[in-house]
Amino acid sequence: MAEHGFDVKRLPGAAVLAVTTFIILYIPMVILVSYSFNSGKVIGNWEGFSLTWYGAALQNAAFLDAAINSLILATSASVISTLMATMAAIATTRAAKFRGESTIHIILNQPLMVPEIVLAIALLIIIGQIKQATGYTGLGFLIAAHTTFCIPFAYLPIRARLEGMDLSLETAATDLYATRFYTFRRVTLPLLAPGIMAGFMLAFVISLDDVVMSDFLKSPGQETLPTYLMGELRRNLTSEIYAISSLLLLISVLIVAGSWVATRKKN
Amino acid sequence: MILSETSRRWALAMPAVVTIMLFSILPLGVVLFYSFLSPGDFGNVKWILSADGWFSVLFERDIFDDTLMVSDAHLTILGRSVGLSFATTLITLVFGLPTAWFIATRPAAQRGFWLFLITIPFWTNLLVRTIAVQEMIRSEGVFNRVLMALGIIHEPLQMMFTNFAVLLGMAYVFLPLMVLPVYAAIEKFDFRLTEASYDLYASRFYCLRRVIFPLVRPGIIAGSILVFVPALGAYVTPRIMGGGKSMMLGNLIDMQFGQGRNWPLGAALAITLTILVLVALIWYTRLTSGRTERNHG
Amino acid sequence: MLDIREISKRFGYGNGVVTALHDVSFSIAEGEFFTLLGPSGCGKTTLLRLIAGFSAPSGGALVLDGKDIAGMPPNRRPVNTVFQNYALFPHMTVAQNVAFALEAQGRRREEVVPAVDEMLKLVQLVQLKDRKSSELSGGQQQRVALARALVARPRILLLDEPLSALDMKLRKEMQIELKRLQRETGLTFIFVTHDQEEALTMSDRIAVMSGGRVQQIASPRELYDRPANHFVAGFIGESNFLAVQANGGAVSIGTATVTLAGARDGPLTVMIRPEHVTLGTSLPDALNLTATVTQLVFFGTDTHVHLRLPDGTALVARIQNALHGGRSFNEGEAIAVALPAEALRITAKAEEQA
């Protein structure tokens, strides 16, 4: 006698395909990480566990430069874009429709609608002219570009959070003689914080992971982690690549885990 | 200073709007303009208007007798881009739908775990994941080594730098993009409806066809667009998996700004790509605005 | 035609086991309007789901037309359900919803269309046949759910508290509707509800359930007049319970005594319905007592007279408000109360019933 009865949520074959998919998704990444611990020089010939490649990477000046660039870039871009996105979200959410609102909305989402390579060459053209004219080759261009495409990524979670917020709290605050700014500072902002945090982390990861834009807009000698990685791929296939890749992987896992824990706590 | 409500809201949104206009929208206009110029001798452009850029998207002149021919190379690349994007979408559907279903039907306690598992690849660097895939199928890669060790083959299979490699790479990196919207749709699905359908003699397949699928469809369409559009404009994955032999539109564009030294052509190609993407997005909006189940029987 | 034989259902395992049904057994005849009645948690919905096939029994057999269906999946059983929340397919029209069962069985169009039309006529929804099911009112949705479940002429129609979401007036209308439908189609209905009034008005027989057991199965009249135990007596209709002493075939409260058949010696509980409590006089063959009127409650058709006996026991009497004559009572007044022996029922205190 079947104890469990008829499971309406069961679709034959789904579980098998699903688990297979998970395995297929993870095997390449697991192998990649395992290579980074391989002490041997030839990729694929397992010669023993070692951290030499990580060491090599950390002593590699080019790698360190790229890492620092990436960090500066990601931090600046995410801070600035989150700031702008927060302001924009407040401007466009929970308002009675005002003139131009949908226009603003479209503009804010525009970078998502155009393939990145198109934006990359577009900026290449413009920035190329500016470089010629001014001779400036610093990180500024990249920061501007990253900030731009990070804005929609920061905007969406903040807006979502804002829309889900209880308006009555702010009404209560105003009822208690708070000025607009005070209400914002003491009531709105703290409640909005998780959304802002989510937007910030999203922007950070997007910037850190960016390949196309950075590759096109960087000046000679200027590298970010992903562009450095891509360059190394073509030059020499050493296990150092896997070490760097594993590091990037680790950062992603940490950020995802971090935001997971953060959202668990909130709920 | 007392501003009207509208002005105040505009002011708040200004920084974001201005940034995007300056660095995203305006540049697009520049690209459009550049597509009508002539290529410079060492890259960049000469300020002479010309339709050659657009012309060269699809056509070329024979170098000897100047006759017009359709550019096979370009056509192949365009076809490959659209074709592989469709194929990628299909593959991610085949693997992504059951995965989304599986996660959504786990008991609540387990679900977080599976979601976590699918979110990690989603946030992992595209480049890193492409490198991981590449490692599997290159000549000295895992696949070949295993097959050779088992004695099934004696020489490594050449899988890299083919359409297959690009397809595999794109399906691998874009799969999580399909799973998440479909998961969201299934999660909202009312399973009491499936109970009702089984009560009324439906087989599992019939229930899937007439009850589950129509109600989950918006999520499936969203996932498809979320895969198709990035696939169409893909650059990194085709570059690494396809090399120079299996180029997609993004790589072709890149070439014009590199060794190809034909910026107007690159610009025209870029606008073409943008238009293709816009068409896909418009088609998506049409599909998702108020579709009803057509009459059966 | 449906035999439920020692069906039990347990959830969980080890120390956390919950027994939802304890060896339930009874039979339902063809063409009956049978009701499972009880408070929430009594096991009625669990039993319904077992019959529908969404759950499997932990023990016992479900025999339909001579075959054990316990192992049969729900989509093979000739049993259809009207769900509490209707579960109409929101993306389909009324007609498509109703046609579903037939189309799922692969019937051809020529068969399906007339059957659907006939069913829509039966529930009086013909004019709405092309409306989307999500655009209907509660009452209309309910009728679609009915039509949808009836169209395939199942051996049994299960109804899981289908009227609970409707307002009072609509409910009463639908009760009459359902009864009519059952008569016209001649199908066997198994109806689940917690509303005893509803059960009494509609059913041929009622199974009163509590704590995973069947307390009594009988016709509405029988349940009302001769409740088998304390629980049934208290659940069906209104009742007054009195503690009495029995000795040698007679029961007494204080000095009042009356002969009552079946009274075992010792303390007992007896039950009497409010409408049988006679006021203002004493009767032969009755417990004649004096009580104080504590409250009068006007109900339109009747008045409830709340009384208190000298020992503190509360009683409620129900008298019809006649056009002429009839005594009126005042709060605080002491009046005579007569409890006729033939209206007294002995009820066991405990709910466990053999």
B263 alpha-carbon distance from chain centroid: 24
Higher pLDDT, B231 or C268: B231
Query: pLDDT band at residue A1, thresholds of 50, 70 and 90?
Result: very low
The answer to whether the Cβ–Cβ distance between C149 and B192 falls below 8 Å is no
Q: What is the mean pLDDT of residues C122-151?
A: 90
Whole-number pLDDT of residue A41: 61
Residues 45-74 of B with CB under 8 A from A: none
The pLDDT of residue B49 = 83
d(CA C211, CA C43): 7
Chain A CB within 8 Å of residue C274 CB: no
Q: What pLDDT is stored for residue C255 in this prediction?
A: 81
pLDDT tens-digit profile of C70-105? Answer: 888 999 999 999 999 899 999 999 999 999 999 999
- pLDDT-based confidence at residue A141 (cuts at 50, 70, 90): confident
Q: Which of C91, C101, C132 sits opposite B201 (nearest CB)?
A: C101
Candidate from A117, A123, A209 with C-beta closest to B125: A209
Tell me the shortest Cα–Cα distance from B92 to chain C, in angstroms: 26
Residue at token pair 């959070």: A161
Closest-CA residue to C143 (of C82, C185, C79, C80):
C82
Judge whether C41 is closer than 8 Å to chain A, CB to CB. no
Chain B interface includes A32 (CB < 8 A): yes
Cβ burial of A134 (10 Å; 0-12, 13-18, 19+) is exposed
Write down which chains contact chain C via at least 3 CB pairs under 8 A: A, B
C80 close contact with B: CB closer than 8 A: yes
Cα–Cα distance for residue pair B234/B135, rounded to 1 Å: 19
DSSP H helices in chain C: 44-52, 94-104, 109-122, 138-150, 168-185, 196-202, 220-225, 230-235
User: Which has the minimum average pLDDT: A140-149, A204-213, B67-76, C141-150?
Assistant: B67-76
Find the helix or strand (DSSP H, E) in which A231 lies: helix A225-235
- pLDDT at residue number B173: 94
CA proximity to C181, closest of C162, C164, C168: C162
Q: Compute the count of residue pairs across chains A and C with CB atoms less than 8 Å apart.
A: 22
Does residue C326 surpass a pLDDT of 80?
no
The per-residue DSSP string of B130-175 comes to: HHHHHHHHSTTSHHHHHHHHTTS-SS----TTSHHHHHHHHHHHHH
A10 at C interface, C-beta within 8 A: no
In which element (H, E) is residue A120 found?
helix A116-134
Q: Given CA atoms B156, B158, B159, B160 in this order, what sign does their dihedral have?
A: positive
Closest C-alpha among C70, C74, C92, C211 to residue C148: C92
Phi, psi of C149 (to 5 degrees): -85, -20
Spell out which residues of chain B touch residue A99, defining contact as CB-CB under 8 Å.
6
Q: Quick check: C194 pLDDT over 50? A: yes
Region C128-155 average pLDDT: 91
Q: Is B213 on the interface with C (CB under 8 A)?
A: no
Q: What pLDDT is attached to residue C350?
A: 41
CB contact under 8 A, C53 and A4: no
Confidence of residue C354 (pLDDT cuts 50, 70, 90): very low
Q: What is the mean pLDDT of residues C199-225?
A: 93
Q: What is the DSSP letter of C132?
A: B
**Which residue is associated with the tokens 């998702």?**
B288
| DSSP 8-state class, residue B243 | T
pLDDT at B293: 40
Q: How far apart are CA B31 and CA A89, in angstroms?
A: 29
Are C278 and C319 within 8 A, CB to CB?
no
Of A249, A9, A263, give the one whose Cα is nearest residue B103: A9
Distance CA A176, CA C81 (A): 55
Confidence of residue A98 (pLDDT cuts 50, 70, 90): low
Question: Per residue in C238-262, pLDDT tens?
Answer: 899 988 888 888 888 878 888 887 7
Instruction: List C-alpha distances in Å: C354 to C57, C123, C193, C217.
Output: 22, 42, 24, 13
Amino acid (one-letter) located at C338: A
Give the residue-averaged pLDDT of A248-262: 81
Q: Are C98 and C147 in contact (CB under 8 A)?
A: yes
B202 vs C149: CB contact, 8 Å cut-off? no
Distances (CA, A) of B23 to A74, A237, B31: 17, 36, 12
Supply the pLDDT for residue B179: 94
Which of B116, B176, B235 faces A212 most closely, judged by CB atoms? B235
pTM to 2 decimal places: 0.84
Percent of chain A whose pLDDT exceeds 90: 19
Q: Confidence band (pLDDT; 50, 70, 90) for A266?
A: low
Helix (H, G, I), strand (E, B) or coil at C334: strand
Degrees, nearest 5: CA angle A20-A22-A24? 70
Predicted confidence (pLDDT) at residue C171 exceeds the cutoff of 70: yes
Helices C109-122 and C94-104 cross at an angle (nearest 10°) of: 130
Predicted pLDDT at B297: 33
Give the C-alpha separation, C88 to C135, whole Å: 11
Higher pLDDT, A84 or B54: A84
Mutation to test the A interface, candidates B92, B114, B124, most A Cβ within 10 Å: B124
pLDDT reported for residue A260:
74
**Residue whose C-alpha is closest to residue C190's, from C4, C56, C18:** C4
| Angle of CA points C1, C34, C27, to nearest 5° | 35
d(CA B35, CA A193): 44
Per-residue pLDDT, A135:
76
Q: Average pLDDT for residues C320-338, to the nearest whole number?
A: 82
Mean pLDDT for chain C?
89
pLDDT at A199: 87
Q: Does A9 touch chain C (CB under 8 A)?
A: no
Query: Quick one: average pLDDT of C29-35?
Result: 94
Per-residue pLDDT, averaged over A156-162, amounts to 83
Q: Tokens at residue C251, please?
A: 């029961």
- Single-letter code of the amino acid located at B48: I
Q: How far apart are CA B212 and CA B205, in angstroms?
A: 10
Tens-binned pLDDT, residue by residue, of chain B (297 aa): 556 777 777 788 888 888 888 888 888 998 998 888 888 877 777 788 887 778 788 777 777 777 777 778 888 899 999 999 999 999 999 999 999 999 999 998 899 899 989 988 888 889 999 999 988 888 888 888 888 888 888 888 888 899 999 999 999 999 999 999 999 999 999 999 999 999 999 999 999 999 999 999 989 998 999 999 999 999 999 999 988 888 999 999 998 888 878 888 889 899 999 999 999 888 888 887 755 444 333
Name the band, by pLDDT with cuts 50, 70 and 90, for residue A42.
Answer: low
pLDDT higher than 90, residue A73: yes
Closest CA of chain B from C115, distance in Å: 14
What pLDDT is attached to residue A95? 63
